[in-house]
């Protein structure tokens, strides 16, 4: 029924739609109610498919506007895509399906093609895989600079959610540190060990690997001795604070809440937000799913790297220009300290 209408589409933006509908508080129009009812029916149909529920359900978004269904996110393969389309076809009233899903098997091939440039120059072999957009690189290389360049190369693909770099440098017996992939949800609640809580406002990314290295969290004063602000009517109200919390302090995180390894009084483990230390991404840089541009900040020390990693321009990365280990460490080697 819909096979001829399944296509890539760019006229609808889930980020623009989110901004237009957020916080309005106005009653839904009849058309909006119909769209919302259709979306709920689609979600139920997808959930009822046991394979989709197990493998892909939480890794993509469904939007309905004017009875047109828009799909965004990451799934494993074309088999899952077909199951999604078949489920949607059972819902009455759907006029069209616009498919922006990214398939892991296709993404793996595209990233492997990019890495092939490095394999040719440095005479090495990379083994690449993807899991819902998170790309892993495996293999053995001669030098640290090749490892870092491979990470940047994979991250230059705009559909990559993040890069897990498992490359081993020949002669280096040190094991790679654990690299958990974490994407806190904008608006979710984050709890300290002592129960103090805040809300995620933005995430801070390392553009070298497109992974979240920190998040800004807003909440009531964490220091219980902080002075309160007196209001005109004589009452007092605590001022909210915006702080930066490294992902290395996260103990556990879900789509609705996160829990830290630290207490709210451990002031040496988090910092007050300083806007001068961060920059927004450039207009031609695609943030990793599920984030929108306004959700993302980049540490100022990555400014030159971010400027060169424009969407669809991976050839601008200096693969051939930077050959010495020392130069790579000075110019591009990124740690999760984000310069603070």
Q: What are the Cα distances from residue 42, in Å, to 61, 65, 75, 203, 242?
A: 11, 13, 17, 30, 38
- pLDDT greater than 60 at residue 332: no
115 three-class SS: helix
Domains recognised in the chain with CATH numbers: 3-94 (no CATH), 105-169 (3.30.1340.30), 189-331 (no CATH)
Q: Which residue has the higher pLDDT, 337 or 91?
A: 91
Site of tokens 């889930």? 14
Res 156 pLDDT > 80: yes
Mean pLDDT of 227-241: 57
Region class of 123: left (phi > 0), else alpha (psi between -120 and 50), else beta: left
Angstrom distance (rounded) from CA 100 to CA 53: 19
pLDDT at position 2 is: 47
Where is pLDDT greater, at 178 or 150? 150
Contact in structure between 127 and 99 (CB atoms under 8 Å)? no
**What sign for the dihedral angle of Cα 254, 255, 260, 263?**
negative
Distance CA 10, CA 61 (A): 15
Torsion sign (Cα): 25, 29, 35, 38: positive
What is the C-alpha to C-alpha distance for residues 144 and 166, in angstroms, rounded to an integer? 12
pLDDT, tens digit, for every residue of 4-39? 344 444 467 788 777 666 555 678 788 889 999 999
Tokens linked to 61:
């978004």
Q: Residues near 178 by Cβ (< 8 Å), separated by ≥ 6?
A: none
Residues 45 and 91 sit within 8 Å (Cβ to Cβ): yes
Which among 337, 320, 330, 283 is positioned nearest to 149, based on CA atoms?
A: 320
Q: Could you report the per-residue pLDDT of 98-108, keeping only the tens digit for each?
A: 999 999 999 99
Model confidence pLDDT, tens digit, residues 245-278 = 999 999 999 989 999 999 999 989 999 999 999 9
Q: How far apart are CA 123 and CA 193, in angstroms?
A: 49
């Amino acid at each position: 029924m819909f096979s001829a209408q399944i296509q890539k589409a760019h006229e609808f933006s889930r980020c623009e739609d989110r901004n237009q509908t957020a916080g309005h508080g106005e009653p839904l129009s009849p058309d909006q109610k119909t769209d919302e009812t259709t979306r709920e029916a689609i979600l139920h149909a997808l959930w009822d498919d046991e394979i989709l529920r197990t493998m892909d359900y939480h890794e993509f978004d469904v939007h309905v506007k004017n009875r047109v269904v828009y799909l965004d996110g990451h799934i494993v393969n074309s088999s899952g895509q077909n199951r999604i389309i078949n489920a949607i076809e059972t819902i009455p009233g759907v006029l069209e399906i616009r498919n922006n899903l990214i398939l892991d098997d296709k993404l793996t091939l595209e990233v492997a093609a990019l890495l092939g440039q490095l394999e040719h120059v440095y005479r090495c072999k990379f083994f690449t895989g993807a899991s819902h957009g998170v790309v892993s690189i495996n293999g053995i290389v001669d030098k640290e600079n090749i490892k870092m360049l491979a990470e940047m190369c994979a991250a230059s693909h705009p559909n990559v959610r993040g890069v897990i770099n498992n490359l081993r440098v020949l002669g280096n017996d040190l094991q790679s540190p654990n690299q958990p992939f974490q994407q806190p949800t904008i608006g979710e609640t984050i709890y300290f060990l002592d129960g103090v809580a805040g809300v995620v406002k933005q995430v801070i990314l390392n553009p070298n690997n497109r992974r979240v290295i920190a998040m800004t969290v807003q909440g009531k004063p964490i220091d219980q001795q902080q002075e309160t602000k007196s209001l005109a009517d004589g009452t007092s109200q605590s001022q909210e604070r915006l702080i930066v919390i490294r992902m290395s302090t996260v103990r556990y995180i879900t789509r609705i809440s996160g829990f830290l390894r630290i207490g709210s009084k451990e002031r040496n483990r988090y910092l007050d937000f300083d806007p001068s230390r961060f920059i927004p991404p450039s207009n031609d840089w695609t943030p990793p799913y599920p984030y929108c541009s306004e959700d993302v900040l980049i540490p100022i020390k990555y400014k030159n790297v971010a400027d060169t990693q424009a969407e669809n321009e991976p050839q601008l990365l200096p693969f051939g220009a930077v050959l010495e280990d020392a130069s790579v460490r000075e110019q591009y080697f990124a740690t999760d300290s984000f310069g603070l």
